[in-house]
Amino acid sequence: MTQELIDLRNSILEERYQDALTIVDELEGMSKQAILRNIE
């Protein structure tokens, strides 16, 4: 996840907001998967 955060930061700094939103969506999906694994 560290690389994703670096990419997110760079996308925001470079004003590539669509790329930033895509990364946020991916991170959100990863978080949901982790929660479901914990429930199981």
pLDDT at 24 (0 to 100): 93
E strands of 1-40, at which residues?
none
Does residue 36 contact residue 20 with C-beta atoms inside 8 Å? no
Q: Tokens 């930061």 appear where?
A: 9
pTM: 0.76
Question: pLDDT digit of tens for each residue in the chain (40 aa)?
Answer: 689 999 999 999 999 999 999 999 999 988 888 888 888 8
**Contact between 11 and 17 (Cβ < 8 Å):** yes
pLDDT at position 34 is: 87
Element (H, E) at 40: none
The whole-number pLDDT of residue 25 equals 92
Q: What is the pLDDT of residue 38?
A: 84
Domain positions in the chain are 2-39
